[in-house]
Amino acid sequence: MGSRREILGIGAGMAAAGLTPGFASRAFAAEGRNGRKIGYAVVGLGYYATRQIMPNFAGCEHSRLVALVSGTPAKLEQYGAQYGIPKTHRYSYAQFDSLRDNPDIDAVYIILPNSLHAEYSIRAAQAGKHVLCEKPMATSVAECQAMIAACSKAGKKLMIGYRSRFEPYNRLAIELARGGHVGPTRLITAEHGFPIQPGQWRLDKPLSGGGSMMDIGIYSLNAARYLTGEEPLEVSAVESTDRSDPRFATVEDRISFVLRFPSGIQANCISSYSSAHNGYRVIGTQGWIGMEPATPYAGQTMTIRKDGVTAPRTLPPPTRNQFAAQLDHLSECVQSGATPIVSGEEGLADMRVIEAIYRSAAERRHIGLTA
């Protein structure tokens, strides 16, 4: 994980936001602009939950951390004390369904290994809670559909943790790309990878559902979809995995995939667990919009080449970083009744393409994606 953390800029997001933990007792009493803040239970107290998500409730306007779920009593004790979460709001997995009886909990944020996303999202909806679930949404199209159906039946929101959609440079890239700033987009290149350390659930297919594609390649895929605003018609993929490397006994290392979109845009994408890259480029008829790095926790860098001139593009620091903005987006949707911009349908759309990518690589042929 060390390398992944370096590549994604671990810790920088919290520092950039000027955030420190230990705020929860204040947050518990606070009220959002539109009334009561939306209360979240965080499920799974691993790296992403404890280093990136929980500290960033401090920067939220509409969201507060009110409950924790973990299988490790020492973590419940440690983080419960750190964030001022009372013992009545600390749960084991065996107690998960009793979240239903806690009116302080409006939403449940699932930050577990991928193969547990569907089960806990569905149980959260059945407990009457809104659901924020980490990417990848699940490990199959069928699971994604079951999650959407469960949230719909319960009348609850379902949002997927695509934090880049709340990051200012990515938002600008979408606006510029779709607005034809460098002419109509013709080609997108997107690359995401890091050299994975052995001995973690990401390398265990029953828990991860797949290798680099599920974990990091999904950023290339999601970017290609959000930069075009289109759904691919066809995919072709080539996998390259050294099966003698013990890290890759059950999951893939590298996948290169090409997406063909209805407007004629082509996206050439890379997903890798053995090389370090994080970037994309939108290439139009008059130049290109480059983002490198594109999707880390902080430090996005944009360069634009237009009509023969290459220049950096900088934005003022945001008032809320991408983590706080993501949390507040779901809270505002809960308060207003709106649908999240990264709903379950968005997670499902990625998963449909991921299944097609795996099929294309396995069958060595193009796979059509028409509905």
Measured from the CB atom, the residue of 174 and 265 that comes closer to ligand NAD is 174
Applying CB under 6 A, does 201 fall inside the site for ligand NAD? yes
**Buried/exposed code over 129-146 (b: 16+ C-beta within 10 A; e: otherwise):** bbbbbbbbbbbbbebbeb
Kindly report each contact of residues 332-337 with a partner whose C-beta sits within 8 Å and lies 24 or more positions away, as own/partner: 332/34, 332/62, 333/157, 333/159, 334/38, 334/106, 334/107, 334/130, 334/157, 335/32, 335/34, 335/35, 335/38, 335/62, 336/34
Measured from the CB atom, the residue of 208 and 228 that comes closer to ligand NAD is 208
Q: Could you tell me whether strands 130-133 and 158-160 are parallel, antiparallel, or unpaired per DSSP bridges? A: parallel
Min separation Cβ 35 and ligand NAD, Å:
28
Total residues at interface with ligand NAD (CB under 6 A):
19
Q: How many beta carbons lie within 10 A of that of residue 371, not counting itself?
A: 4
Min separation Cβ 253 and ligand NAD, Å:
17
Min separation Cβ 54 and ligand NAD, Å:
11
Min separation Cβ 49 and ligand NAD, Å:
6
- Closest residue to ligand NAD, judged by C-beta, is 46
Kindly report each contact of residues 93-97 with a partner whose C-beta sits within 8 Å and lies 24 or more positions away, as own/partner: 93/69, 95/69, 96/43, 96/69, 96/120, 96/123, 96/127, 97/123, 97/126, 97/127
Assess whether 135 carries a catalytic annotation. yes
Could you tell me which stretch among 46-54, 166-174, 229-237, 332-340 binds ligand NAD (CB under 6 A)?
Answer: 46-54
Among 7, 45, 188, 255, the residue binding ligand NAD under the rule CB under 6 A is 45
The interface mask with ligand NAD, positions 53-92, x = CB under 6 A, is: ------------------x---------------------
Among 112, 137, 255, 354, the residue binding ligand NAD under the rule CB under 6 A is 112
Min separation Cβ 320 and ligand NAD, Å:
16
β-sheet bridge partners, residue 235: 259, 367
Assess whether 75 carries a catalytic annotation. no
Query: For residues 62 and 329, what is the distance between their CA atoms, to the nearest angstrom?
Result: 9
Could you tell me which stretch among 112-120, 185-193, 238-246, 284-292 binds ligand NAD (CB under 6 A)?
Answer: 112-120
Applying CB under 6 A, does 48 fall inside the site for ligand NAD? yes
* 3 state DSSP class of 96: helix
Question: Per the residue annotation, which of 219, 226, 280, 358 is the catalytic one?
Answer: 219
Residues 152-171 that bind ligand NAD (CB under 6 A): 161, 163
- For residue 173, give the H/E element and its range: helix 168-178
Applying CB under 6 A, does 228 fall inside the site for ligand NAD? no
Query: For residues 62 and 260, what is the distance between their CA atoms, to the nearest angstrom?
Result: 39
Applying CB under 6 A, does 47 fall inside the site for ligand NAD? yes
**Cβ(16)–Cβ(167) below 8 Å:** no
**Cβ(243)–Cβ(290) below 8 Å:** no
Could you tell me which stretch among 44-52, 96-104, 121-129, 244-252 binds ligand NAD (CB under 6 A)?
Answer: 44-52
Query: For residues 42 and 97, what is the distance between their CA atoms, to the nearest angstrom?
Result: 14
Applying CB under 6 A, does 192 fall inside the site for ligand NAD? no
Question: Per the residue annotation, which of 40, 120, 129, 135 is the catalytic one?
Answer: 135
Measured from the CB atom, the residue of 49 and 348 that comes closer to ligand NAD is 49
Binding residues (CB under 6 A) for ligand NAD: these are 44-49, 71, 111-114, 116, 134-135, 161, 163, 201, 207, 215
What residues act catalytically? 135, 219
